[in-house]
């Protein structure tokens, strides 16, 4: 995981070497980082899996930060896996870059699946990043397309790498998104087949929690329960509201006692609105 280079040709697309558990579901196939930070590299997955090896500081975590789960939801605020906020698109594109005042880079991940007839279907999600040193900013547009990276979509080839405008001409305006919300909804629908935004948000929460660099150390330290607890998504406010509305108007003392063992509630944490139902706030509302 060192250095950057120019890729004029792509490595051969990986092929499955054994039976697949769910061949009709999308699995990770290829990924690419081009002219972002110090990278210009394509990664090949083996039956949906990727192993990155290298010494500390080689850039393994940095590569994953730029690819997943970022390219599944486009949330730039959560790129940094440590939570420090140091790794941003502007930092990745402009830190130490002196070749010119403007820079164009691509991030992409390709998924593959086979239908019942054995025909392969590809789907690529990605981001085109434009940065300006004079303006001191970097901006991203997102895309999702069934056009594979290669001769038609040469993201890997520095000499023929398309601009953001040319990308739209290749994959179509309907496949490019300036607004991250529209991109996220399209990934949710086409890649995961999920219709409810809440379910997809919970999935992303889980992936971001499990991506943390210290998760393995915490498991080895006997904190598996805490790791799993942190990965659970918070309850939806509407769900809490519906539960509260259907609770009886009075709180049995035994029930309150048992609840206090779970939630550190104080007297001010329980309110009784005029409608006759009780609402829990504070510590309980975050569960």
Give me the chain's average pLDDT, please: 81
Report cis status (omega within 30 of 0) of the bond before 69: yes
With beta carbons less than 8 A apart as the criterion, state whether 87 and 103 touch: no
Specify the DSSP class assigned to residue 276. Answer: S
Q: What pLDDT score was predicted for residue 243?
A: 74
Top pLDDT among 274 and 46 is at: 46
Rounded to an integer, the average pLDDT of 170-180 is 97
DSSP calls for 201-247: HHHHHHHHHHH-TTHHHHHHTT-HHHHHHHHSPPPPHHHHHHHHHHS
What pLDDT digit, counting tens, does each position of 89-141 carry?
Answer: 999 999 888 878 899 999 999 999 999 898 999 999 999 999 999 999 999 99
Rounded to an integer, the average pLDDT of 52-58 is 85
What pLDDT digit, counting tens, does each position of 217-265 carry?
Answer: 666 666 667 766 766 766 677 777 777 777 655 555 555 555 555 554 4
Cα gap 34→156, rounded to integer Å: 6
Rounded to an integer, the average pLDDT of 4-22 is 63
SS3 267: helix
SS3 143: strand
Q: What pLDDT score was predicted for residue 248?
A: 59
Q: What pLDDT score was predicted for residue 7?
A: 54
Cα gap 153→171, rounded to integer Å: 8
pTM over 0.85: no
At 205, list the tokens. 């929460």
Q: What pLDDT score was predicted for residue 176?
A: 98
Q: What pLDDT score was predicted for residue 186?
A: 97
Contacts made by residues 154-159, CB under 8 angstroms, sequence distance 24+:
155/32, 155/34, 155/106, 155/108, 155/126, 156/7, 156/10, 156/32, 156/34, 156/40, 156/42, 157/6, 157/7, 157/8, 158/6, 158/7, 158/34, 158/35, 158/40, 159/6, 159/8
Q: What pLDDT score was predicted for residue 205?
A: 86
With beta carbons less than 8 A apart as the criterion, state whether 177 and 189 touch: no
Q: What pLDDT score was predicted for residue 8?
A: 56
Cα gap 285→205, rounded to integer Å: 18
With beta carbons less than 8 A apart as the criterion, state whether 219 and 227 touch: yes
Top pLDDT among 162 and 250 is at: 162
Identify any residues that bridge with 142 across adjacent strands, giving them in sequence order.
127, 177
Contacts of 33 (CB under 8 A, 6+ apart): 39, 40, 41, 63, 66, 67, 105, 106, 107
**Confidence band for 181, pLDDT divided at 50, 70 and 90:** very high
CA–CA–CA angle 12, 187, 45 (5° rounding): 25
* Domain residue extents for the chain: 27-193, 237-286
């Amino acid at each position: 995981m060192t250095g950057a280079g120019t890729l004029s040709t792509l490595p051969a697309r990986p092929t499955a070497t054994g039976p697949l558990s769910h061949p009709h579901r999308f699995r990770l196939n290829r990924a690419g980082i081009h002219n972002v930070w110090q990278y210009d590299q394509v990664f090949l997955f083996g039956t949906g899996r990727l192993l990155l090896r290298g010494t500390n500081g080689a850039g393994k975590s940095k590569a994953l930060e730029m690819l997943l789960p970022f390219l599944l939801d486009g949330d730039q605020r959560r790129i940094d896996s440590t939570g420090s906020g140091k790794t941003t698109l502007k930092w990745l594109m402009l830190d130490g870059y002196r070749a010119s005042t403007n820079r164009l880079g691509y991030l992409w991940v390709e998924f593959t699946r086979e239908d019942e007839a054995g025909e392969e279907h590809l789907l690529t999600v990605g981001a085109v990043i434009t940065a300006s040193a004079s303006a001191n900013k970097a901006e991203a547009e997102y895309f999702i397309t069934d056009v594979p990276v290669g001769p038609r979509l040469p993201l890997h080839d520095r000499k023929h790498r398309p601009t953001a405008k040319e990308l739209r001409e290749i994959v179509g305006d309907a496949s490019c998104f300036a607004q991250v919300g529209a991109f996220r909804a399209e990934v949710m629908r086409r890649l995961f087949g999920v219709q409810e935004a809440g379910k997809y948000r919970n999935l992303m929460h889980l992936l971001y929690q499990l991506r943390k660099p210290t998760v393995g150390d915490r498991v080895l330290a006997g904190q598996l329960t805490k790791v799993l607890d942190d990965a659970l998504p918070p309850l939806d406010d509407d769900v809490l509201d519906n539960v509260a509305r259907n609770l009886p108007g009075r709180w049995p003392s035994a029930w309150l006692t048992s609840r206090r063992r779970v939630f550190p509630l104080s007297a001010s944490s329980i309110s009784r609105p005029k409608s006759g139902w009780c609402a829990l706030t504070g510590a309980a509302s975050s569960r």
